[in-house]
Amino acid sequence: MARRVLFSRLSVIEHRAYFSHTSRPFLLPRRADINMLSTEKPAPVAAMPQGLATPSLTCNFATQKPQKQPEPSIEQQYEECVSDLNTLQSNATTIRRSILLNNKQLPLSDMHKYMERSGLSLEELEKIPFIHVSGTKGKGSTCALTESILRAHGIKTGFYSSPHLLSVTERFRLNGQPISKHKFVRTFRRVYNCLRKQQQYEGDMPAYFKFLTILSFHLFLEEKVQVVIMEVGIGGELDCTNVIRNTQTVGITSLGLEHTHLLGDTLTEIAWQKSGIIKDNADVYTSVTQKECLDVIKKRVAEHNATLHIAPEYAEYFRTPESAELLSSLNEVIRLNGSLAIQLAYDWLRKNGYERYKQIELTQLTKEVEKGLQQCNWPGRCQILGIDKLKFHIDGAHTVESMRVCSDWFKRVTEKSPNPRVLIFNTTGERDSRRLLEVLYSNIDFDTVYFAPNIASGASNHNDNTSVFGITEQLKRARLHASIWYQLCLESDEKDTSKTFGSIHDCFRDVRAVYGMQQPVDVLVTGSLHLIGATMAAFKYL
């Protein structure tokens, strides 16, 4: 495998790789910060003729000014921050180790240590009230809807979520908007440098997600937000977001089997982990329906003297003829997670001086709530984007349950479409790819199927996630997905129309080559939010 190292005066932050259509990389991703070495020879010094006096050389140091180096642009500083961030290990290793040791204190005590080193105490963090949300699917969109409803009431909000699609700044939202790169750079450098200086040994730094969580605390305290909606990273009980204590409103979305290597092999084990965010005397809202999971949640609620509430069915909010128009304007994400979000918002409003919410019915919608539902923007979830003749249906489904919802949604919205159907698929982590592909294979007849890593283009990739997941490993996974699809076709005695490429852009080019520039095509992109981010980054090449 040929390798070429490019030297540049600029820091190359993101991994770049080019792949052939056989998906074999011939340019490995490298990170470099190397000044180009000059090959010019110094100019010769003229010799003075013998017998002549050497001319007097005077140096006026007072008039010589040092040449000022240009200040790096915000974009360059941001890329340097992303480079430093990506050197931090994934949080998965730490969580796995702590769970295997059955030691709850390990990740949280680490979190306390790094928070203190960054200049932040738990007592200071209690200045902000939190709404904390865990769950298997829909926790991000539930948080986004809750934030949007509260913002519609004029409340200054902070929102911390994961993962991001294109830029890490998306994880930190102030009043619904991702923070600026300038704000990210300023806060990142202050916190990162502070932690680096206090290392007691090499590598004594918080993991990737843990660091970003600490960063979010600093940002939200500086901005003096009135409430923070915080999405759990993985699990709940051992998640580093669980250091927050001022949490009287808790949400648990629907549960399914995920991260079994971290959280347990059964739904009851996962329910125990997810309900670990419950705090004393809190109000806990859930959309969980499985009896065995509810039993676990009820037990943990009782341990904390908390109160459990089951979110109403979504249709209960739209019983009147007047609400029919509103219902038709809301997308699939709101239909799935809107009820829990409404109840979380209502609970916080009741506890923070909004007296009218103590009087209204459980399923009554105020004008502010309607506005919050309509203005919520949560990209990458049941989203449709049209670019030229390609109609992209993108959804970050990555569990069996969410993939069923995704496939049903795609099937419904394309039911009357005569266009060819195309699938672009990838997963990350230890997902059960076969089960996800089985859902798609059994539910939808695709004309062409593409498997590719989460790489926008071989020439350039601007997704900050690129260096978190090894490109070589992603290529192996793409080939594995192709072999699974081939096996599914073989078992059904159907033709395998799948292809494997080294980037999303290569998939786009093949779609154009197969169907032409004028043929409309319905494209489903699913399997991972990281894939969604790479796909959005690749749109600029169309």
> Which residues are CB-contacts of 7 (< 8 A; sequence separation ≥ 6)?
32, 34, 36, 37
Total Cβ atoms within 10 A of residue 435: 13
pLDDT of 54 higher than 80: no
Q: What is the DSSP code (8-state) at residue 209?
A: H
Written as six digits, the tokens of 168 are 């890490």
Written as six digits, the tokens of 302 are 């009782």
CATH top class, domain 82-375: alpha beta
Supply the pLDDT for residue 322: 77
Q: Please, which pLDDT band fits residue 50 given cuts at 50, 70 and 90?
A: very low
Per domain, the residue ranges of the chain are 82-375, 383-541
Give the model confidence (pLDDT) of 258-300 as tens digits: 665 566 668 999 999 999 999 999 999 999 999 999 999 999 9
Give the model confidence (pLDDT) of 290-327 as tens digits: 999 999 999 999 999 999 999 999 889 988 887 877 88
Determine which of 152-166, 180-194, 319-333 has the lowest per-residue pLDDT on average.
319-333
Cβ 396 vs Cβ 496: under 8 Å? no
Give the model confidence (pLDDT) of 346-361 as tens digits: 999 999 999 999 888 8
Supply the pLDDT for residue 259: 60
Is the N-terminal amide bond of 163 cis, ω within 30° of 0? yes
Give the model confidence (pLDDT) of 88-147 as tens digits: 965 445 545 554 544 445 668 899 999 999 999 999 999 999 999 999 889 999 999 999
What percent of the chain lies above the pLDDT cut of 70? 80
pTM for this predicted structure: 0.82
| Strands of the 172-174 sheet, one edge to the other | 177-178, 172-174, 157-160, 227-231, 130-134, 247-252, 283-286, 307-310
Average pLDDT over residues 388-404: 93
pLDDT of 53 higher than 70: no
What number of CA atoms fall less than 13 Å from residue 13's CA on the CB side?
Answer: 16
pLDDT of 47 higher than 60: no
CATH top class, domain 383-541: alpha beta
Rounded to whole angstroms, the Cα distance separating 527 from 437 reads 9
Q: What is the bridge-based pairing of β-strands 247-252 and 130-134?
A: parallel
Supply the pLDDT for residue 27: 37
Give the model confidence (pLDDT) of 483-536 as tens digits: 999 999 999 999 999 999 999 999 999 999 999 999 999 999 999 999 999 999
* Inter-residue long-range contacts of 299-303, CB under 8 Å, 24+ positions, other chains counted: 300/272, 300/275, 300/276, 301/275, 303/278
Average pLDDT over residues 58-76: 71
Sign of CA dihedral 221, 224, 226, 229: negative
Supply the pLDDT for residue 462: 52
Cβ 474 vs Cβ 33: under 8 Å? no
Mean pLDDT of the chain, nearest integer: 85
Give the model confidence (pLDDT) of 24-37 as tens digits: 333 334 333 433 33
pLDDT of 23 higher than 50: no
**Which has more confidence, 450 or 463?**
450
